Chain A
Amino acid sequence: MKRVHVLLSVFLLATAALFVSSCNSNTEEPRGEFSSGVFVVNEGNFGSANGTISYYNPVNNEVKQDIFGQANSGRALGDVVQSMTIEGDFAYVVVNNSNRVEVVNANTFKSVHTINDVKLPRYMVTHSGRGYVSEWVSFSESGGVSVINLADRSVQQHIITDFGAEGLIIQNNKLYVSNSFSNTVSVISLSSHEVIETIQVGQAPGQFVTDKDGKIWVLCGGSYDMDYAPLNDGAFYVINSGTDEVEKSIPLNANVSAKTAINKNKDIIYYFRGKSIYALPVTASAAPGEALITESDAVGFYSIGYDDEEELIYAGDSKGFTASGSVFRYHENGTSVNYFTSGIGPNEFIFK
């Protein structure tokens, strides 16, 4: 197991560090208890600032709740904890309704810095010393992407895209931004930091994955008519990052969550609706007829992830936000492994 190996290496390194540090009058810290494992980003109840990060250790099934609060004397991350991105020794926690990105030590979760100059931020990706944060900005203005210098954590630039800037992915030195209140994907050149292309996709595009051929898949959640009836027009759109054109689209015949994940071999894409998870091979031209998993112990899924190391599917059940969420783990064939308790509204998984 690679993870065991990693743990072993960490142990050895830590011992070495300890040895070195004992010679160096204790100036170096150990790497910390969160140097590997699974992090669950829990959104929390809107307007309650009770979003948290849970830590899950797959080796011993141990779960630690609210690791940020634990490491920072009970401090709260803020309202609507949306996502987390790890780059080097730092984790960047994006807190949507508190308009901030909390920078923490990725191994100890001690707070390092707070980036405040962002408006309704959603997700973050990093590239050559810069962080790119998607922002809704507001419900009546175009969203966009803020460029952050990771060295001094200052916001350098804001690039306007379209309403509800959401998902982010980098391919071919270009940043793709899905605009979730709209039906577009904006393409930003990472050299010029300008929008060089706007691609029409389905309604309410959300998250991206890249398949084994380097194609970009964006999941569009679908829309509602004037009477708020679902139009069942959720769909995958596949973008060729060479030409920035849509190569194919796969209608899903339903409104779905716009969160998605891809397996280790990058040939099966997972998405969900209600308490069902669907597996879509990248070669498919139509939506799967049946769900891979329908979880009778879930109220409704809210997140999906894939752990390349153990080759397992992770799915978070929000329990309708009235109780702690649950995270279910499955093998690729859909059989259940186990489940564990998270914070309120498990929203995203980060595998470290």
Chain B
Amino acid sequence: MRNALFCIIFLHAVWSWAQVADSVPATYLQEVKIYGIPPAKYAAGARVEKLQIAGSDILLTDALNGNSSIYFKTYGNHQLSTIAFRGTSASHTAVLWNGVNINSPSLGQTDFSLLPVFLLDDISVQFGTSSSLYGTDALGGSVLLNTASPLFERGMKFQVRQDIGSFGNLFSGLKLEFSNNRWHTRTKLMLRSVENNFPFTSPAVGYEKVQQHAAVQQYGVDQQFHYQFSAHSYLSLNVLYTYNFREIQPVVTNDVSDETLEDRNTRINLSYHGASVLGNIYVSTSFMDNFQQYSISSPNRTQQLNALVNIDKQLHTRTDIRYGASATVFLADMENYEAGLTDTRYDIFGSLTHGFTSTWKASLNLRQSFYENYKAPIAPSVGTEYNWLTKGRHVSVLKFQASRGFRVPTLNDRYWRPGGNPGLKPEDAWHVEGGMTWQYRQENHIVSSSITSYHTRAHDWILWQPANQGYWAPNNLQRVHVYGVELQLNSTIKQQKFSLETNVQYSYTRSKNKEGLTPNDLTTVNSQLLYVPYHQASLHSTANVNAWSAGLVVSYTGLRYTTLDNQAYLSLPAYAIANLMLDREFLWNTWKITGRAGVNNIFNTYYENYMNLAMPGRNYSLSIILNFNQNQIKP
């Protein structure tokens, strides 16, 4: 279904990026009522995008895949998906849920296929290094998942959706919201099964085969209770639970496998938002439980308890400050760790944003992270935005930011037996980024575009290598220089009964390894990091006529090397895929019914995002979505 319907998400994404592009501030946005932690407020100069795709049946992998600066190493359809954001590796993207890093404490990375978009409210992406705002791991970028602010006195609404697609794809989803003057509850339930018995013809095999042993079952629930004490304060409880069981897809050459992976993730967040003389106070406590079982081996379990306090105050009309602290305790029950392992981390942080004039603003952020007996490098960032042009129909903004990022060694890096090295230094990175946005507005036509360029220099990257003792051990060995350019062009034509929206993106990413594997090794110096395409591009286009809409998505992924010495014969070739989708809306009373049909990978392209793991060819999908009282509560 993922493939079956990911055009829909792309369509949503088109809209969302369009909206973001639309809202590129001529002057910075006037915050009306800020609760929680708005990602962009203190991120002047950074590229931040919000995806408005809540309710889609897809995985977070596919929601983000529409962005040309992100590459996912997907180990098959609905299989393990790890991110490479702006040319970095999987553990260099911070993934935060309600302000708390949810990267696996043991591996330091997120399997994005375990996060169904249907259960999430707000999804934002910040590009580039931003440890000053988000702490550890925020080197290539950050993915911010937040519970949407509650809305009271809106009554009841619900949504039911059913999707069916090729190769045994089934998705059922239910959303129910209710609110009165005190309470707002949101309930989301989803159930997915994927057979993944698609045919494929891989050059490594030479003839057509049907994928075996790649079925996935997934279900999840997101339950929220919000209670309002007054117009300025409320308490929220959010429980997000996901279950995923997959047969691990074997490589194309293999016919049988018995490997399976079961994941159960529980995430609970209790938070209080309130206004006081100090400013807007946000206090939360979170609990995460990650359970994972590979085949029949003994399960791995990590837990995480976090307390966070954040105070945000407007000092003057154009000056805001923010400060706070967080503490996290990790508990791990892993066969290869010492029994009863615990680990702690503390963060203190502060931010200042100031508008010098109505067209020029800057922000400054600072964070210090402590873990066990070590200190992470102090992480500052400065950023500025200058609206240099507002003339007639043209608006243009210049952006710049500089920041430092770090990554605290994971529990595996420090405690894995044998080999774990408690003395590892944190990874350290310096980052600069500049760009410009430009927008042209006519009554019925908006064109916006942006160009962004960045450089990140990282050192002390942790690399596991064979050690003399016969096992593997991590060391702070690698130095990496990542730079690139991102281009974006968006056009929206809106007329009374017709609209056409087109979004084109292109990214060039150069991710240079700067340190040979041995002192005299030159074969890997200045080589491109593994699984980082130099070129990625996409086109998303949606046309609406009355109640009909049609969408086209074309995406291009360049060649990817799978060895650090960039051997061509071991690389994955470039590919392009195209998806089409048709959508019809019916309105009746307070009901809105949407019917969708999609065809994905129209040209039946064989492609891989991880070496020798097949992805589906042409496939179809049908969806029906029933909304009741949709307009009562905006998501």
Where the two chains meet, the residues of A that have a C-beta atom closer than 8 Å to any C-beta of B are 45, 47-50, 65-66, 69, 72-79, 95, 97-99, 221-222, 224, 227-230, 254-257, 273-276, 296-300, 302, 318-320, 322-324, 341, 343-344
Residues of B at the A interface (CB closer than 8 Å) are 75, 203-206, 251-254, 256, 336, 338, 417-418, 463-472, 517-521, 523-524, 530, 562-565, 567, 569-570, 610-612
Choose from A49, A73, A318 the contact partner of B466 (Cβ within 8 Å). Answer: A318
Chain B residues contacting A343 (CB-CB under 8 Å) are 570
- Give, as a whole number of angstroms, the nearest-CB distance from A234 to chain B: 8
A-B contact list, 10 entries, CB within 8 Å: A49-B251, A66-B569, A78-B254, A95-B253, A98-B254, A230-B470, A274-B467, A274-B468, A322-B463, A324-B563
Instruction: Indicate whether A76 sits within 8 Å of B254 (C-beta atoms), given known contacts A256-B470, A274-B469, A299-B465.
Output: no
The smallest C-beta distance from A191 to any residue of chain B, in angstroms, reads: 34
Within 8 Å by CB of B563, from A69, A95, A300, A322, lies: A322
Chief secondary structure at chain A's binding surface: loop
Given A49-B251, A75-B205, A76-B205: A297 in contact with B520 (beta carbons within 8 A): yes
Q: Please judge, given known A-B contacts A98-B254, A99-B254, A299-B518, whether A76 and B204 are in contact too, CB under 8 Å.
A: yes
Indicate if the CB atoms of B519 and A296 lie closer than 8 Å.
Answer: yes
Q: Is the CB of B564 within 8 A of A78?
A: no
The reply to whether A320 and B565 contact each other, CB–CB distance below 8 Å, is no
Q: Are A255 and B470 in contact (CB under 8 A)?
A: yes
Report which of B205, B418, B465, B523 forms a contact with A324, defined as CB distance below 8 A.
B523
A194 to chain B, nearest CB (A): 30
Contact A297 B521 (CB under 8 A): yes
| A50 B470 Cβ-Cβ under 8 A | no
Q: Is the CB of B464 within 8 A of A320?
A: yes
Given contacts A76-B204, A228-B336, A297-B520, contact A49 B468 (CB under 8 A): no
Residues of B within 8 A of A99 (CB): 254, 256
Do A79 and B517 form a contact, CB below 8 Å, given A257-B470, A300-B465, A318-B466? no
A261-B279 Cα distance, complex, nearest whole Å: 73
Given A298-B518, A323-B565, residue A48 in contact with residue B251 (CB < 8 A): yes
Smallest Cβ distance from A301 to chain B, in angstroms?
Answer: 8
Question: Are B203 and A49 in touch, CB under 8 angstroms?
Answer: no
Minimum Cβ distance to chain A for residue B84 (Å): 15
Provide the residues of chain A in CB contact with B203, threshold 8 Å. 73-75
Given A78-B254, A324-B523, A324-B567, A229 contacting B470 (CB threshold 8 A): no
Contact check: which of B75, B336, B466, B562 meets A299 at CB < 8 Å?
B466
Give CA–CA (A343, B565) in the complex, Å: 11
Contact B518 A50 (CB under 8 A): no
A73→B470 CA distance, assembly (Å):
37
- Which of B336, B464, B467, B521 has the most CB atoms of chain A within a 10 A radius of its CB? B521
The smallest C-beta distance from A347 to any residue of chain B, in angstroms, reads 13
Residues of B within 8 A of A69 (CB): 569
Contacts of B75 in A (CB 8 A): 47
Contact B567 A65 (CB under 8 A): yes
Q: Counting chain A CB atoms within 10 Å of each CB, which of B256, B468, B520, B523 scores highest?
A: B468
Chain A: which residue is nearest B259 at the CB level? A47
B470 CB to nearest A CB, Å: 4
CB neighbours of B254 from chain A (8 A): 49, 78-79, 97-99
Q: List chain B residues, Cβ under 8 A from A275.
A: 468
Contact call B517/A323, Cβ cutoff below 8 A: yes
B567 to chain A, nearest CB (A): 6
Task: Write out the residue numbers on chain B whose beta carbons fall within 8 Å of the beta carbon of A297.
Answer: 518-521
- Nearest CB of chain A from residue B212's CB, rounded to whole Å: 13
**Closest CB-CB distance, B318 to chain A, in whole Å?**
49
In the bound assembly, the distance between CA atoms of A50 and B608 in angstroms comes to 14
**Set of chain A residues within 8 Å of B467, measured between Cβ atoms:** 274, 300
Pairs A-B, 3 closest by C-beta atoms: A274-B468, A300-B466, A76-B204
Q: Do B470 and A222 touch across chains, with their CB atoms under 8 A apart?
A: yes
> Are A320 and B562 closer than 8 Å at their CB atoms?
no
**CB within 8 A of A50: which of B336, B466, B520, B562?**
B562
> In whole angstroms, what is the CA distance A66 to B75 when docked?
23
User: In the complex, A76→B253 CA distance in Å?
Assistant: 7
Q: Is the CB of B418 within 8 A of A78?
A: no
Nearest B-chain residue to A319, judged by Cβ: B517
Q: Judging by beta carbons under 8 Å apart, are A229 and B418 in contact? A: yes
Report how far A322 CA is from B468 CA in the complex, Å: 18
With A230-B418, A256-B470, A274-B468 given, is the CB distance from A65 to B569 under 8 Å?
yes
> Do B251 and A228 touch across chains, with their CB atoms under 8 A apart?
no
CB contacts (< 8 Å) of A50 on chain B: these are 562, 570, 611-612
| CA distance in complex: A34, B470 (Å) | 34
Contact between B523 and A322, CB atoms less than 8 A apart? no
Complex CA–CA separation, A299 to B520 (angstroms): 11
Question: Chain A residues with Cβ under 8 A from B562's Cβ?
Answer: 45, 48, 50
Assess the A273–B468 pair: CB atoms within 8 A. yes
Task: Give the docked Cα–Cα distance between A48 and B519 (Å).
Answer: 28
Bound CA–CA A299/B523 (angstroms): 13
Cβ-defined contact, B564 with A276, below 8 A:
no
